[in-house]
Amino acid sequence: MAPITLRNYAEGQWIAGAGGLAELRSAIDGEVVARTSSQGLDFGAMLRFARRRAAPRCGR
């Protein structure tokens, strides 16, 4: 089976990472099952989004 490329759920949308992909391997046989990257994500913007959207729902 060909590995899938995973995207990141950030700021309310699915975003593909940029740059090199990390390989995620099966714990059973060590085969590559997926690839993903968090490069290019704006973690500051993600934090601001979470504070603005999620914090009020958590009673903060």
* Average model confidence (pLDDT) across the chain: 91
Into how many domains does the chain fold? 1
**Spans of the chain below 70 pLDDT:** 60
Domain that holds residue 8: 4-58
What's residue 10's pLDDT?
Answer: 94
CA-to-CA separations, 39 to 9, 19, 31, 58, in angstroms, rounded: 13, 6, 23, 29
What's residue 32's pLDDT?
Answer: 97
Ranges of H-type helices in 1-60: 43-53
What's residue 53's pLDDT?
Answer: 85
Task: Output the pTM of the full model.
Answer: 0.71
What's residue 36's pLDDT?
Answer: 96
